[in-house]
Each structure stands twice: as structure tokens, then as C-alpha cells.
């Protein structure tokens, strides 16, 4: 979808070599971003509010609080934060948000979606167990109880680990992330370790298999299940010691810019929490997201036009008139 949008923008600019082409491309990109972001925000705000943000706060609340609840209250909390409607809305809303041009991180949404599928599987299993009379509501060993080593705890943790592993191509990373960031308050068991590792490893292999079927490309294979693959060693990059000083200066500059951006972000967050900005309206949230997506799309369409088109540098001995 994004490639289609960008190809149309490129075609508009190519067919209009003046500023008019850039203006038309910016209008097209802004319109697409505005429509997609509006639809994404409406889905979250009006259909499944728990699908908002990264999803990690919702998951942490569920894992920490459900352990202290009676099983039926834990079921209600899980249905509110991890039900199928929330997962489905999050998937489509994220797709539209990425298409709109907004910067969306993979970590939180992938974990939330994976944990949601784990919760859905656990709920189906529990319903079947109760149907056959193996356990009854109110039993102390009821599998709905989110306790260390319990069925729900294990499947939710395994689902989150699988989501992280699929997003970052890191099976062990998925298990360790769930241990460190999500499940630690509610405890960790050997069962959770086994379940999360098997789920994470399976997710990576399945993703690799699907990608290999979709694209017959040697760069997508079962041999590349780690982030740093063959061919990316420092020996193949071609650098010299004289490059160190510019990179040190670049790193310092990026650190300064990052600090300024963080400070501005905190100021904006503080202002958004103030009474001058706060309006208890769902439509306000939609408008805010839509305007941000519109501005992002227009800015990142105009910025490339401020620079010359890149051309290949001829090899030594060739005509270098266009160098």
C-alpha cells in the first residue's frame, strides 16, 4: 500500500517538472495520510479504545491486577483489554496508521497483538474445559486464574513473546522481553519459559516461511533468523580511520538534537495535559491524529524536493561531466 502511494507521488512529480508537481504530490500524500489516519483513529476511539497506544500499559495492568482477582472478574478484565475485537482493531488501525505516514513502533503493538491471541486461545480452551465439567467456576484451581504457571498466564506470555520475536526476528529476545517488562510482577515459571520460547521460535520460522513463499529472494531464507546476517561484517563496509572523527562529531550532534527533541516532546506532553488543551471529546482525539498525519505527509513530501536528484557517480576513467 505504501509503495503504491509513493509510486503515484513519484509519477506526479516526474510528469510535472515545476513546483506544481511537488505541490500536487504534497496534496495527494496529505490527502491519503489524512484519510487513513482519520479512519485509524475512528476505529480505535469508537470501536475498541483499549487498542490505543502501544498496548504495553494495558497488558501490564492485566498481568498485574488479574492475579489478585476472582476468576470471573479476571475474565471481564481480559475481555476488555485483550479480546478479539481489540486485536482486530489494532491490526487494521496500525495498517492504516503506517499507510498514513505516521511513525509507528513495532515493539508494543506486536506484543499486545500476540498476547491478545494468546488470551483468545486460553479462553477457548477454558470454555471447552468447563463444558466437559473438568472444573467449575469458583474452583481454586480454575485455569482462568492468572497465577504463576497457570494456563492463562502461560498462553498470554507465550503470545506476547511470539509477537515480539516475529517483529524483531529474535526468539530469545521475545522470551526475555516478556520476562523483564511484562510478566515479572505476576511471577515467572518454568512452564512460561518453555511456552514462550517454543512460541517465539515457531513465530520466527513461520514468518520466514511465509516471506520465502511470497518473495523468491535469497535475502529471505531460513538461514537468516538473526538480525546480523552474513555479509554485514565490518570488513565488507570499506572504511578508514579518518572516518572516525566525522562519525564522532555526527554522534555528538545527534545526541544534542535528540536531547532537544526529547525536551520539546516533554513540553508538548505537559501542555496537552493542561486545562487549556484538555477537552473531553472523542472527536478531538481524531482531529488531533488526523492533523499530525496531514502535517507529516506534507512535510516529508516537500523535504526531498529541496535537494537535487541523486545520480550515479561515474567510475574512474569514465566521462565525469555529471559528477
56: exposed, middle or buried (C-beta count within 10 Å: 0-12, 13-18, 19+)? middle
Whole-angstrom distance, CA of residue 230 vs CA of residue 4: 31
Q: pLDDT tens across 26-67, in order?
A: 888 888 989 999 999 999 999 988 888 888 888 888 877 766
Identify the pLDDT of residue 322.
Answer: 46
What's the grid cell of residue 247? Answer: 562519525
User: Where would I find the H helices in the chain?
Assistant: 2-15, 19-46, 56-65, 71-82, 84-100, 107-131, 151-168, 171-177, 190-214, 244-272, 282-302
Spatial CA neighbour of 165 closest among 203, 122, 215, 213: 203
Residue 116 has pLDDT above 80, yes or no: yes
Q: What percent of the chain has pLDDT over 90?
A: 13
How many angstroms separate the CA atoms of 230 and 55, rounded? 34
Query: Closest Cα to residue 102, out of 302, 319, 295?
Result: 295
Higher pLDDT, 42 or 323: 42
* Spacing of C-alpha 44 from chain mean position: 15
* Contact of 29 with 101, CB cutoff 8 Å: yes
The number of CA neighbours under 13 Å toward the Cβ of 287 is 6
Q: Quick: pLDDT tens for 262-305.
A: 999 898 888 877 766 666 678 888 888 888 889 988 888 888 76
CA distance 51 to 80: 10
Closest residue by Cα to residue 90 from 126, 120, 122, 127? 120
pLDDT for 232 beyond 60: no
Q: How far apart are the first and last CA of the chain?
A: 35
Q: Which residue has the higher pLDDT, 132 or 248?
A: 248
Beta strands in the chain (DSSP E): none
CA distances from 244 to 33, 238, 252 (A): 39, 13, 12
Lowest mean pLDDT among 13-22, 40-49, 190-199: 13-22
| pLDDT above 90: residue 260 | yes
Report the range of poorest mean pLDDT among 19-28, 123-132, 180-189: 123-132
The residue with greater pLDDT, 169 or 317, is 169
Amino acid at each position: 500500500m505504501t509503495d503504491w502511494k509513493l509510486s503515484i507521488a513519484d509519477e506526479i512529480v516526474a510528469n510535472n517538472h515545476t513546483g506544481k508537481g511537488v505541490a500536487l504530490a504534497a496534496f495527494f500524500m496529505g490527502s491519503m495520510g489524512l484519510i487513513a489516519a482519520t479512519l485509524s483513529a475512528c476505529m480505535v476511539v469508537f470501536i475498541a479504545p483499549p487498542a490505543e497506544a502501544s498496548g504495553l500499559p494495558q497488558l501490564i495492568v492485566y498481568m498485574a491486577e488479574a492475579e489478585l482477582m476472582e476468576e470471573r472478574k479476571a475474565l471481564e478484565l481480559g475481555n476488555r483489554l485483550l479480546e478479539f475485537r481489540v486485536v482486530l482493531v489494532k491490526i487494521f488501525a496500525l495498517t492504516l496508521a503506517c499507510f498514513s505516514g505516521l511513525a509507528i513502533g513495532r515493539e508494543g503493538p506486536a506484543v499486545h497483538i500476540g498476547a491478545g491471541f494468546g488470551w483468545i486461545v486460553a479462553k477457548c480452551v477454558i470454555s471447552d474445559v468447563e463444558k466437559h465439567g473438568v472444573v467449575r467456576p469458583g474452583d481454586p484451581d480454575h485455569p482462568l486464574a492468572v497465577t504463576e504457571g497457570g494456563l492463562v498466564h502461560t498462553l498470554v506470555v507465550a503470545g506476547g513473546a511470539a509477537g515480539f520475536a516475529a517483529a524483531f526476528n529474535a526468539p530469545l529476545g521475545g522470551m526475555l522481553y516478556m520476562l523483564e517488562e511484562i510478566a515479572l510482577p505476576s511471577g515467572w515459571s518454568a512452564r512460561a519459559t518453555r511456552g514462550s520460547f517454543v512460541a517465539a521460535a515457531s513465530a520466527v520460522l513461520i514468518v520466514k516461511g511465509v516471506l520465502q513463499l511470497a518473495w523468491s529472494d535469497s535475502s529471505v531464507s531460513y538461514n537468516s533468523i538473526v538480525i546480523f546476517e552474513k555479509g554485514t561484517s565490518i570488513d565488507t563496509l570499506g572504511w578508514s580511520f579518518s572516518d572516525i572523527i566525522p562519525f564522532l562529531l555526527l554522534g555528538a550532534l545527534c545526541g544534542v538534537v535528540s536531547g532537544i527533541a526529547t525536551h520539546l516532546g516533554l513540553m508538548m506532553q505537559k501542555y496537552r495535559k493542561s486545562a487549556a488543551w484538555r477537552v473531553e471529546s472523542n472527536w478531538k482525539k481524531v482531529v488531533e491524529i488526523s492533523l499530525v498525519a496531514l502535517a507529516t505527509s506534507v512535510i516529508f513530501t516537500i523535504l526531498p524536493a529541496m535537494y537535487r536528484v541523486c545520480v550515479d557517480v561515474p567510475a574512474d576513467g569514465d566521462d565525469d561531466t555529471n559528477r
